[in-house]
Amino acid sequence: MQFRILGPVGAVVNGRFATIPGTRQRTLLATLLIRARRLVPTEQLYTELWGDNPPATVENSLQAHVSRLRRTLRRLAGPHGEVPPLITQASGYILDVAPEDVDLFLFRERLAAARHAVTGDPEVAGSLLEGALGLWQGSPMQDVAPGPLCQSIALQLDEEYLAAQEDRLWMGALWGEPTHVIGELKRMSVAHPWRERITEMLMRALYRSGRQAEAVEVYNTARQRLIDELGMEPSPQLKQLFREVLIQAPALHQPAAQHLLRTA
């Protein structure tokens, strides 16, 4: 049995995805998965499931939800399937699930492996990146209650996903065929106008595609937007890239390791 939280929360059994019935059941499972093999205190679970308005019988209610979740997982696994133990302790609960059975941890593992492999084997790194991004099925934990832990982890994961997308585009702009990523970079620059890394990638991809004037225009547009809306200049790194584009620096045609992927 494997579990997904990078999208709707649920379990995968024999290659088939099954959702968990009930918002609080999904929230309970998601919270336990985020803290896989670690104790989740009962007080934290109260907050995740009920926010600031827990029922008068909150302790019994939580125990009932834990019992229902155990039954649901057993039903999904079938008579011969294995179910990770959901362990009750005096101060909370532990879901003893292996990290490799949770898409969250698989995503982070593949992303770290891609970043490690990129300078030695970009093709392997690209494959690992595609595999990491392919785990996503939508907004993380999109069908759970907006508790503080799940919400903060979801925001963090959104940032990690965007950074992974940028990593993939870096590889296309610097190692692959840059013209293939220009359209997507333009869309991302509109959606995320303050991320200078996207501006830098777009400038590099345009320049490496023989479109120097457009690369200059991208910089000028981004700089003017920063000045008009935030009252600030571009970063020194982006300014340096602009100067290199203007003088047609030979280094722009040579992938540099420090520009490829972010460190984990």
Weakest-pLDDT range from 8-17, 55-64, 118-127, 157-166 = 118-127
Contacts 24+ apart (CB under 8 A), 236-244: 237/196, 237/200, 238/196, 238/199, 238/200, 241/200, 241/203, 241/204, 242/203, 242/216
Percent of the chain with pLDDT over 90: 77
**In this predicted structure, what is the pLDDT of residue 256?**
52
Q: What is the mean pLDDT of residues 197-201?
A: 92
Q: What is the mean pLDDT of residues 221-233?
A: 95
Contact at 8 Å (CB) between 163 and 192?
Answer: no
Q: What is the mean pLDDT of residues 254-263?
A: 52
- Residues 6-51: pLDDT tens digits? 999 999 998 899 999 999 999 999 999 999 999 999 999 999 999 9
Weakest-pLDDT range from 79-83, 100-104, 150-154, 202-206 = 79-83
Most confident of 41-50, 74-83, 169-178: 41-50
**In this predicted structure, what is the pLDDT of residue 258?**
47
**In this predicted structure, what is the pLDDT of residue 135?**
97
* pLDDT higher than 80, residue 158: yes
DSSP 3-state assignment of 47? helix
**In this predicted structure, what is the pLDDT of residue 71?**
95
* pLDDT higher than 80, residue 140: yes
196-208 vs 212-230: helix crossing angle, rounded to 10: 160
* pLDDT higher than 60, residue 224: yes
Q: What is the mean pLDDT of residues 53-65?
A: 94
Sign of the C-alpha dihedral computed for residues 221, 222, 223 and 225 taken in this order: positive
The rounded Cα 83 to chain-centroid distance in angstroms is 26
Pinpoint the alpha helices (H) of 55-147. 58-77, 103-117, 122-133
Contacts of 208 (CB under 8 A, 6+ apart): 173, 174, 178, 252, 253
**In this predicted structure, what is the pLDDT of residue 253?**
76
**In this predicted structure, what is the pLDDT of residue 264?**
39
In the sheet with 16-19, reading across from the earlier edge strand, the strands are 2-4, 10-13, 16-19
Weakest-pLDDT range from 139-143, 169-173, 208-212, 221-225 = 169-173
DSSP 3-state assignment of 199? helix
As a whole number, the mean pLDDT across the chain is: 91
Which of 6, 1, 17, 18 shows the shortest CA–CA distance to 150?
6
Sign of the C-alpha dihedral computed for residues 239, 242, 247 and 249 taken in this order: positive
The rounded Cα 130 to chain-centroid distance in angstroms is 13
**In this predicted structure, what is the pLDDT of residue 255?**
60
**In this predicted structure, what is the pLDDT of residue 40?**
97
Other CB atoms within a 10 A radius of the CB of residue 159 amount to 9
Sign of the C-alpha dihedral computed for residues 149, 152, 156 and 162 taken in this order: positive
